[in-house]
């Protein structure tokens, strides 16, 4: 790194870069084009260097992993706005984001796991357990900040448990997290004897029900977590290692990356985000429920997959995942506005998941 830049400056610059990556404007590509000219002293790929506008646009679009998902989301919004006048209202949009926030927070953690070619089925149950633990702590008189941290640590501990069992005993993540899904749910039910915890004070309720500058707090938390995790994935060693481990575990190991350490960290992280989701949900509902978040793991996985994170590992972005969560939310919201039968909604959402993965696999086949 050049000595002239101060760390803060560097960081700000990096954050700008994220935004650039998220939008992935043609300018970014042009810069790459310039670099390419430098690399290509032999001029092996002349035609590659001066692409026409259409070609460049197509390449720019192709480079954004989740561009088709984004287009899909926009199309959906356009269609729905014609079908129902209330759809485009500010209030409804705020609603959609609010609905997407819990799923989105869970899906961020899951994205890390899936990028590293794992799976985490336990997040829905961890969400419930963390909510209960936080609720218990609050009603036991623990200060707000401590209770929230305690709840997050509970989630982290569950994730750590997943990670340690998976790496130390070399067990398939599917099975281990399936087990944890039941264990965490059981613990949540045990600790309240099946009942729920309520009667929180206003400060705690602000987390799920408050607003900052008109934006609901859960959405603020989602956006902050999304920015932070995008940054981690792109600009930290940990993030890079997630891709490397998911792309090729053995290459990563031979390159000096410890799968044991990093996979454990990844599952722990997924546990922590589930913990955050649990706290936000408890606050939003004004009650911590041991049966909260049942089958949420599936929607979180769906959000990641719709957003272009491949279950084979090695690819994926948090941006895509957020789009995926929004798509699920928009479909739900739209169908509610149009009075579609809620049972039918399940059928539609399931079909969208399959469609999204199909489109993705077609794209991959076309590329190769």
Partner 1 sequence: MSVTIPPVVEMEHISKSFPGVKALDDVRFSVFPGEVHVLLGENGAGKSTLMKILSGVYTKDSGEIRIAGDPVELHNVKDAMHQGIRIIYQELNLLNNLTVAENIFIGEEPRTRGIIDWKKMFTESQKLLDGLNLSIDAHQKVSELPVGQQQMVEVAHAVSKEAKVIVMDEPTSALSSKEIKELFTTIRKLQKRGVGVVYISHRLEELLEIGDRVTVFRDGQYIGTRNVREEDGSIKIQLNDLITMMVGRSLDQQFPKVKFTPGEETLRIENLQTEEKLRGCSLSIRKGEILGLAGLMGAGRTELARAVIGADRITGGSVYRGGKRLRIRNPGDAIAQGIGYLPEDRKLHGLVLELDVAKNITLTGIKRIISAFCLSLKKERKEALNLVGELRIKTPSISQQVRYLSGGNQQKVVVAKWLFANSDILIFDEPTRGIDVGAKVEIYRLLNTLVEAGKTVMIISSELPEILGMCDRIAVMREGNIVKEFLRADATQDAILKYAIGAEA
Binding site for partner 1 (CB under 8 A): 1, 7, 10-11, 14, 17, 32-33, 35-36, 38-42, 44-45, 48, 234-237, 240, 243-244, 246-248, 250-258, 314-315, 368
CB of 175 to partner 1, least distance (A): 20
- What own/partner pairs with CB < 8 Å and gap ≥ 24 does 86-93 have? 86/337, 87/333, 87/334, 87/337, 92/333, 92/337
- The DSSP-derived string for 215-270 is EEHHHHHHHHHHHHHHHHHHHSHHHHHHHHHHH-HHHHHHTT--HHHHHHHHHHHH
Minimum CB distance to partner 1 smaller for 39 or for 90? 39
Q: Which contiguous run of DSSP H or E holds residue 202?
A: helix 202-209
CB of 142 to partner 1, least distance (A): 32
Minimum CB distance to partner 1 smaller for 7 or for 54? 7
Q: Which contiguous run of DSSP H or E holds residue 15?
A: helix 7-23
Report yes or no: 163 and 264 within 8 Å, Cβ to Cβ. yes
CB of 267 to partner 1, least distance (A): 20
Q: 3-state DSSP call for residue 141?
A: coil
Q: Which contiguous run of DSSP H or E holds residue 362?
A: helix 342-367
Minimum CB distance to partner 1 smaller for 84 or for 253? 253
CB of 32 to partner 1, least distance (A): 6
Minimum CB distance to partner 1 smaller for 1 or for 213? 1
CB of 363 to partner 1, least distance (A): 14
Minimum CB distance to partner 1 smaller for 41 or for 365? 41
């Amino acid at each position: 790194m050049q000595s002239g830049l101060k760390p803060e400056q560097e960081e700000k610059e990096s954050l700008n870069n994220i935004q650039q990556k998220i939008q992935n404007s043609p300018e970014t590509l042009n810069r790459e084009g310039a670099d390419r000219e430098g690399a290509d002293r032999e001029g092996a790929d002349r035609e590659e260097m001066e692409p026409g506008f259409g070609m460049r646009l197509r390449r720019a679009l192709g480079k954004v992993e989740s561009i088709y998902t984004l287009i899909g989301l926009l199309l959906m919004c356009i269609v729905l706005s014609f079908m129902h006048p209330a759809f485009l209202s500010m209030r409804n949009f705020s609603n959609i984001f609010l609905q997407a926030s819990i799923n989105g927070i869970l899906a961020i953690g899951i994205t890390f796991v899936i990028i590293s070619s794992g799976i985490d089925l336990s997040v829905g149950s961890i969400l419930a357990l963390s909510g209960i633990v936080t609720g218990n702590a609050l009603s036991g008189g623990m200060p707000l900040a401590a209770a929230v941290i305690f709840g997050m640590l509970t989630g982290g501990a569950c994730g750590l448990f997943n990670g340690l069992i998976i790496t130390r005993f070399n067990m398939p993540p599917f099975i281990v997290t399936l087990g944890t899904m039941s264990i965490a749910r059981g613990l949540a039910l045990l600790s309240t004897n099946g009942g729920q915890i309520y009667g929180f004070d206003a400060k705690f309720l602000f987390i799920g029900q408050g607003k900052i500058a008109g934006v609901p707090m859960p959405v603020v938390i989602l956006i902050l977590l999304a920015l932070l995790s995008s940054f981690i994935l792109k600009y930290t060693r940990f993030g890079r290692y997630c891709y490397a481990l998911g792309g090729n575990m053995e290459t990563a190991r031979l390159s000096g990356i410890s799968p044991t350490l990093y996979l454990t960290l990844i599952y722990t992280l997924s546990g922590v985000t589930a913990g955050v989701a649990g706290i936000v949900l408890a606050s939003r509902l004004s009650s911590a429920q041991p049966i909260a978040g049942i089958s949420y793991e599936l929607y979180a996985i769906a959000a990641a997959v719709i957003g272009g994170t491949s279950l084979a590992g090695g690819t994926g972005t948090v941006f895509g995942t957020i789009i995926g969560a929004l798509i699920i939310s928009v479909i739900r919201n739209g169908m509610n506005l149009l009075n579609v039968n809620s049972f039918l909604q399940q059928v539609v959402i399931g079909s969208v998941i399959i469609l999204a993965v199909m489109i993705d696999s077609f794209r991959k086949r076309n590329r190769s």
